């Protein structure tokens, strides 16, 4: 049975720290729902009602467009090993754009000033509801390792190549919504 909480309790935070993958979901009126898997190596718990992840350049920038237009976002984690559980974080998200003071501050306080090549923005979620459910239907998987494909891609592109790629692929969502990224490029 699902249980709801107003904040992440210690057991929720411990569960989050054991995971290797999370999923983000966002949408806005008239646009497609975006659902993306992400590695937890760039995910941080800020406090009991806030989390953030460092977002790298990718083929699209749907989350940024949805945060600008609406702000609603859900992050989901589920246990693929150990005791079953699904944990969802609901709330309002915002984007901290690369190169801004807000980005630099969050990078320093939550990411030890470490960012991979291709870091595009930090997505912060202010959590207003935490929900857990049983996770009995989630299959059991064994974690092997992180993929290095994005690192190799970013190294091959270089800083200038990544900026050019962002100009062509990351300024608008697939539905034509602005992502806000063009103000930096």
Measured between alpha carbons, how far is 99 from 8 in angstroms, rounded to an integer? Answer: 30
pLDDT score at 185: 52
Reply yes or no on whether the pLDDT at 182 is more than 90. Answer: no
pLDDT score at 184: 57
Tell me the DSSP string of 58-120.
-S--HHHHHHHHT-EEEEEEE-SSSS--EEEEEEEEEEEETTSHHHHHHHHHHSTT---TTEE
> What is the pLDDT averaged over residues 65-86?
96
Reply yes or no on whether the pLDDT at 183 is more than 90. Answer: no
Contacts for 72 with CB less than 8 Å, ≥ 6 apart: 26, 27, 28, 66, 91, 92, 93
Measured between alpha carbons, how far is 159 from 179 in angstroms, rounded to an integer? Answer: 20
**Domain total for the chain?**
1
pLDDT score at 1: 81
The whole domain housing 38 covers 3-136+145-183
- pLDDT (tens digit, 9 = 90+) per residue, 91-145? 999 999 999 999 999 999 999 999 999 999 999 999 999 999 999 999 999 999 9
CATH of the domain at 78: 2.30.110.10
Measured between alpha carbons, how far is 106 from 112 in angstroms, rounded to an integer? Answer: 9
pLDDT score at 127: 98
Measured between alpha carbons, how far is 128 from 117 in angstroms, rounded to an integer? Answer: 32
- pLDDT (tens digit, 9 = 90+) per residue, 5-31? 999 999 999 999 999 999 999 999 999
């Amino acid at each position: 049975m699902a249980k709801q909480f107003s904040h992440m309790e210690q057991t929720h935070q411990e569960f989050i720290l054991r995971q290797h993958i999370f999923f983000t979901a966002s949408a806005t009126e008239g646009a497609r729902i975006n659902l993306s898997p992400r590695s937890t190596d760039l995910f941080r718990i800020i406090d009991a009602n806030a989390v953030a992840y460092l977002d790298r350049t990718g083929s699209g920038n749907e989350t940024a467009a949805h945060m600008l237009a609406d702000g609603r976002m859900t992050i989901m984690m589920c246990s693929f090993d150990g005791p079953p559980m699904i944990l969802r974080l609901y709330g309002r998200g915002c984007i901290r754009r690369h190169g801004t003071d807000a980005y630099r501050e969050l990078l320093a306080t939550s990411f030890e000033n470490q960012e991979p090549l291709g870091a595009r923005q930090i997505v912060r979620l202010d959590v207003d509801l935490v929900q857990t459910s049983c996770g009995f239907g989630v299959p059991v998987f064994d974690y092997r390792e992180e993929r290095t494909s994005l690192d190799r891609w970013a190294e091959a592109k270089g800083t200038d190549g990544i900026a050019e790629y962002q100009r062509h692929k990351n300024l608008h969502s697939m539905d034509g919504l602005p992502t806000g990224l063009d103000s930096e490029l």
